[in-house]
């Protein structure tokens, strides 16, 4: 059984289809899913999805794209929102200097508030980083120096230096369908070097559908395609890989209980 550690089931792409999507995930042996918050102002709808299904959890946080448009949110506010039983992590948060949809200082301020909340509560961070490796390493090292916090770099697409730095800080690395893309040789090399104890898999649905669904709407059932590719890179059979990454999910997101 696999876990889709990162999807966006509250997005309009899935409206009216959640029962079918969760059923198809079950048929593909995706036992659990974590649906990810991108706007604190839309937390309620993310939380509603998690409350509808026993095997779905959620996060609370502000995507770096929205750091400029969402209200500035303190660690305390994030922590109180995370008291709800289905909320098992903070994020997604981080830096996106590829799109630069929000001013970089606002992205950093929001990211640091999420880190504070994670350090304070012990709930992990779901970190988004794109084209920002140097600043990501700078902020993580600086914050790590003030006290450790758990977390994962989701949809890992950065270079080997970032992978090495985050592994050193005890963080996990989650791999999306990008790993199945023809052009992702560098990523495949990096993934080979990540210890199996630190790997997770995800869809980031509705985005980034793995081959052979590339270009179509992604959904949690397709986690299996990504897992098959990563298992091959790690030279593991599919069942052992599924067991290991599911175990990792529950190690990291320790507030989640298996049903």
Provide the binding-site residues for Zn ion, judged by CB under 5 A: 36, 92, 128, 204
Name the H helices within 82-221: 104-121, 133-145, 160-168, 185-193
| Rg of the chain in Å (alpha carbons) | 17
For 211, other C-beta atoms within 10 Å of its C-beta total 15
Length reported for the chain: 259
Q: Burial level of 104, CB count in 10 A (0-12/13-18/19+)?
A: middle
What is the phi-psi region of residue 100: left when phi exceeds 0, alpha when psi lies from -120 to 50, beta otherwise? left
Closest C-alpha among 247, 258, 123 to residue 197: 247
Q: Burial level of 56, CB count in 10 A (0-12/13-18/19+)?
A: buried
Is 169:198 a contact under the CB 8 Å cutoff?
no
Is 234:241 a contact under the CB 8 Å cutoff?
yes
């Amino acid at each position: 059984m696999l876990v889709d550690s990162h999807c966006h089931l509250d997005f309009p792409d899935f409206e009216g289809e959640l029962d079918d999507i969760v059923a198809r995930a079950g048929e593909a042996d995706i036992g659990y899913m974590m649906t990810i918050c991108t706007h604190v102002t839309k937390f309620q709808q993310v939380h509603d999805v998690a409350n509808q299904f026993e095997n779905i959890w959620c996060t609370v946080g502000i995507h770096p794209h929205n750091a400029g448009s969402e209200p500035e949110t303190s660690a305390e506010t994030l922590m109180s929102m995370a008291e709800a039983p289905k909320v098992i992590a903070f994020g997604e948060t981080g830096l996106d200097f590829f799109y630069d949809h929000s001013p970089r200082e606002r992205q950093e301020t929001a990211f640091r508030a999420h880190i504070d909340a994670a350090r304070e509560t012990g709930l992990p961070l779901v970190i988004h980083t794109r084209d920002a490796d140097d600043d990501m390493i700078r902020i993580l090292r600086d914050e790590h120096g003030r006290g450790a916090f758990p977390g994962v770099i989701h949809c890992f697409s950065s270079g080997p230096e970032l992978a090495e730095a985050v592994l050193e800080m005890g963080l996990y690395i989650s791999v999306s369908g990008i790993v199945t893309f023809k052009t992702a040789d560098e990523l495949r090399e990096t993934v080979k070097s990540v210890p199996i104890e630190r790997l997770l898999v995800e869809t980031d649905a509705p985005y980034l559908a793995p081959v052979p669904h590339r270009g179509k709407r992604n959904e949690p059932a397709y986690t299996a395609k990504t897992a098959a590719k990563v298992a091959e890179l790690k030279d593991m059979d599919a069942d052992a890989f599924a067991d290991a990454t599911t175990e990792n999910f529950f190690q990291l997101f320790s507030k989640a209980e298996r049903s």
